[in-house]
Amino acid sequence: MELVCPAGNLPSLKAAVKAGADAVYMGLQNATNARHFAGLNFTEKQMTQGIEFAQSRGCKVFLAVNTYPYCHDLDIWQQAVDTAAELKVDALILADMGVMDYACEKHPDLNIHLSVQGSATSAAAVNFFAEQFNIKRAVIPRVLSIKQVAHLVNQSKVPIEVFGFGSLCVMVEGRCLLSSYATGLGPNNHGACSPAEFVEWKNTDDHLETRLNGILIDRVDKDDSVGYPVICKGRYKVNDHIGYAIEEPTSLNTLSILAELKTIGVVAVKVEGRQRSPAYVRQVTEVMRAAIDDCLEKPDAYELKDQWNKTLGDLSEGQQTTLGAYYRNWQ
Amino acid sequence: MTQRIHKKLSLAPIPYFWDQTTVEDFYRRTADSPIDIVYLGETVCSKRRALGLSDWISIGQDLTAAGKEVVLSTLSLVEAASELSVMTKICKQNDFGVEANDMSALQLRTSYTKPEFIAGGSLNIYNQRSLDKLKSLGLQRWVVPHEHNQQALHDFDLSGIEVELPVWGRLSLAYSARCFTARTHNRSKDQCGFVCDQYPDGLAMKTQEAKDFLVINGIQTQSGTIQNHLEAINDNAVDILRITPQQNNCFEVIDIFDRVRKQQMGVDEGQQKLAECTIHPISNGYWHRQAGKNWVA
């Protein structure tokens, strides 16, 4: 079972490689990937350096080109595919059928992984991409219970990668329009959820408020803390009750089910967080590395260590973690 | 571009959990309405079993007898093996058309001998190459995804397929494993008690300032606004105008679109009449390259 870690820039990539990632994933500095944030991602020159650094140390490199180009933008996404082929990345992480079709035709030897943004939640969906685009792996959305993941792995024609730690998308990835409904820009069409230019933090006399394009996402007492205003983690009024109607600020943490993920045949565990600091990437990678090593060495006697959970808990949104949809009652 | 003059009217699947009698009454009225195409089936939550596949087929037969084109729509978020087995039955039959609402349905439909299908609006088709790929697999009709603006739609070569544009109703914005209606009642999805039957037009999720924002419908999140694209009624790229069912004034809305398409009513008058059909704010922002929630007059 591989550990796949986020590389938002060169220092994060190096931190992940040194801390024991089996693979790192990165994006270019444009809307072709799902973490299109200012100051993040790689120029071609940085990519070359990063690939050299990682591959010479036995770590694979994946390039995420996992957003959806409109007709007039398709060239830019196709160029990103050409760049990946030229720089010899180990795999391309793609979501769009048009981009996949191009990659298959132009670079038949290039490994394609289906991005989580491709929204394949069943074996039939994964097998569609396997048959049509010869994908070599699929990353599945964070919507299935552990039993459903096991069933999918069993019926899938290609190996399956799942999310193991990081910010939790509550909605099926690739099919969430909440951000674009509020701002015009979202993960699919812009590579970012709740883009920073629409975010407002405001102190009133008694409150701290966050707004997204003018919409009140959360309001807390002056001395409390409030998270970044992603719509699904806000507090709203439903039936006259104010609360986290969709989900609280929390991170996904699968440490307690890693051995099970290994047993059911998951081939890779992914850490979310290309927007995070190199220090974050290093700490998470170290913990996940140690846990996966324990799993691989003694799958029947895997024991969760309190220190791992504490480290990951401290790095989590709202200092809380959850098993998310893997745990049926969360649903 | 092909001129697409004779617009048809379609009725999307009912997104909410209505009881069997309400559903059957609704489609009896549909049979007498100017709707040309009716999409049937449960597309949001497989736990809602007021009607099974055989009930939908029976309603479909009645509507066919009334001269309507009938299409079976598949579930939008597929997670369980039992869901795939219902979907397999839908995809194997050829009495009615099939609207594929996720990639599982596409795989099942294209595995059979007569693979024609309609691509639902939640399939991610953003560019020509994606559309062409699906055309090569049997795509006949395309329901345009919400995020496309008018120019983005016009950038496509749409020859050889029918184009269907959602013109009235709440936007479907997201799907989750979690049921938010059950969560509101402090229940898990497995113990939901079918509480969404209390909300036949969805459950409003307002901001802390009590402003309309989103609507919860089980595992689906919808827009708080009603999308209104009457302005697109004369758009040359569009063949079919799609109306999403709602509990109140649905047939009044259908009648307004019908009269405007037949030029028995002007677009301005139609807009005034539509405004009387809902108490909720309206939107058309996506069509104008803006935030989906916006209204551009």
pLDDT at residue B49, as a whole number? 87
Pair A235, A256 in one domain? no
Check whether residue A157 and residue A38 sit in a common domain: yes
The CA dihedral of B252, B42, B63, B7, to the nearest 10 degrees, is 50
A256 and A318: one domain?
yes
- For chain A, give the percent of residues with pLDDT over 90: 90
Residue B263, CA atoms < 13 Å, CB-side half-sphere: 3
Residue A100 lies in a domain: yes
B222-258 pLDDT, tens per residue?
Answer: 999 999 999 999 999 999 999 999 999 999 999 999 9
Any CB–CB contact under 8 A between A331 and chain B? yes
User: Could you tell me the CATH number of the domain that includes residue A85?
Assistant: 3.20.20.70
Q: Within a domain: residue B276?
A: no
Q: How many domains does chain B have?
A: 1
Residue B285 lies in a domain: no
Distance, in angstroms, between A170 CA and closest chain B CA? 6
Does residue B182 lie within any of the structural domains? no
Chain A residue with minimum CA distance to B146 = A177
Model confidence at A225, pLDDT cuts 50, 70, 90, reads confident
Q: How do residues A90-99 score in pLDDT, each as one tens digit?
A: 999 999 999 9
| End-to-end alpha carbon distance in chain A | 26
Q: How far apart are CA B242 and CA B10, in angstroms?
A: 5
- How, if at all, do strands A2-6 and A112-114 pair? unpaired
Bridge-based pairing of strands A251-253 and A321-322 is: parallel
Whether residue A119 lies inside any domain: the answer is yes
pLDDT of residue B115: 80
Question: Using one digit for the tens of pLDDT, what is the confidence trace for A6-42?
Answer: 999 999 999 999 999 999 999 999 999 888 888 899 9
Collapsed DSSP state (helix, strand, coil) of residue B18? coil
Is residue A257 domain-resident? yes
Q: Which of A211, A243, A275 is the last residue of a domain?
A: A243
Identify whether residues A255 and A110 lie together within a single domain.
Answer: yes
Give the contacts of A163 (CB within 8 A, at least 6 positions apart): A116, A139, A142, A252, A254, A269, A270, A272
Q: Is residue B187 part of a domain?
A: no
- Using a CB–CB cutoff of 8 Å, tell me whether B82 touches chain A: no
Q: Examine residue A130 and state whether it is found in any structural domain, yes or no.
A: yes
Distance from C-alpha of A193 to C-alpha of A217, rounded to nearest angstrom: 14
Taking the C-alpha atoms of residue A275 and residue B179, their distance in angstroms, rounded to an integer, is 29
Q: Are residues A207 and A282 in the same domain?
A: no
d(C-alpha B162, C-alpha B135), whole Å: 11
Structure tokens at B264: 């028995």
> Can you give the residue range of the structural domain that contains A233?
178-243
Structure tokens at A118: 């491709």
Q: Which residues of chain B have pLDDT under 70?
A: 1-5, 113-114
Q: Per the CB < 8 Å rule, is A118 touching B205?
A: no
> Is the CB of residue B162 less than 8 Å from the CB of residue B239?
yes
pLDDT per position as a tens digit, A287-327: 999 999 999 998 889 999 999 999 999 999 888 899 999 99
In a domain, A113, yes or no: yes
Single residue among A226, A243, A260 that ends a domain in this structure: A243
Quote the number of domains for chain A.
2
Please tell me which residue of chain B has the smallest CA distance to A176: B174
Q: Is residue A173 part of a domain?
A: no
Q: Is residue B179 assigned to a domain?
A: no
pLDDT at residue A119, as a whole number: 97
For residue B246 the two structure tokens come to: 């709602």
Q: Are residues A259 and A215 in the same domain?
A: no
On whether residue B125 sits in a domain, the answer given is: yes
Q: Which of these, A156, A155, A165, A151, lies nearest to A138 by C-alpha position? A: A156
Rounded distance between C-alpha atoms, residue B242 and residue B166, angstroms: 4
Neighbours of B173 (CB within 10 A): 26
Structural domain boundaries, residue B74: 8-169+227-267
**CATH of residue B232:** 3.20.20.70
The ipTM (two decimal places) reads 0.96
Residues from chain B that touch A127, judged by Cβ atoms under 8 A, are 107
pLDDT of the residue at B5: 56
d(CA A312, CA A252): 10
CA distance A324 to A66: 23
CA distance A276 to A278: 7
Whether A41 and A127 share a structural domain: yes
Contacts 24+ apart (CB under 8 A), B86-95: B86/B46, B86/B53, B87/A124, B89/B53, B90/B41, B90/B53, B95/B57, B95/B60
> Is residue B213 a part of any domain in this protein?
no
Question: What's the pLDDT at B33?
Answer: 98
pLDDT tens digit string along A98-132? 999 999 999 999 999 999 999 999 999 999 999 99
Give this prediction's pTM: 0.96
- Residue B104 within a domain: yes
- A104 is known to lie in a ligand binding site: no
A216 CB within 8 Å of a chain B CB: yes
Single residue among A243, A276, A298 that ends a domain in this structure: A243
Beta partners for residue A63, in sequence order: A26, A92
Strand B69-73 and strand B37-40: the pairing is parallel
Q: Residues B194, B196, B199, B201: is their CA dihedral positive or negative?
A: negative
A169 annotated as ligand-binding: yes
Task: Give the whole-angstrom CA distance, residue A145 versus residue A323.
Answer: 9
Write down how long chain A is.
Answer: 331
* Amino acid letter for position A207: H
A176 annotated ligand binder: yes
* Cβ within 8 Å of A, B 163-192: 171, 173-180, 183-184, 188-190
Beta bridge partners of A62: A25, A91
Lowest mean pLDDT among A15-19, A224-228, A238-242, B83-87: A224-228
* CB-nearest partner of A119 from B80, B103, B137: B103
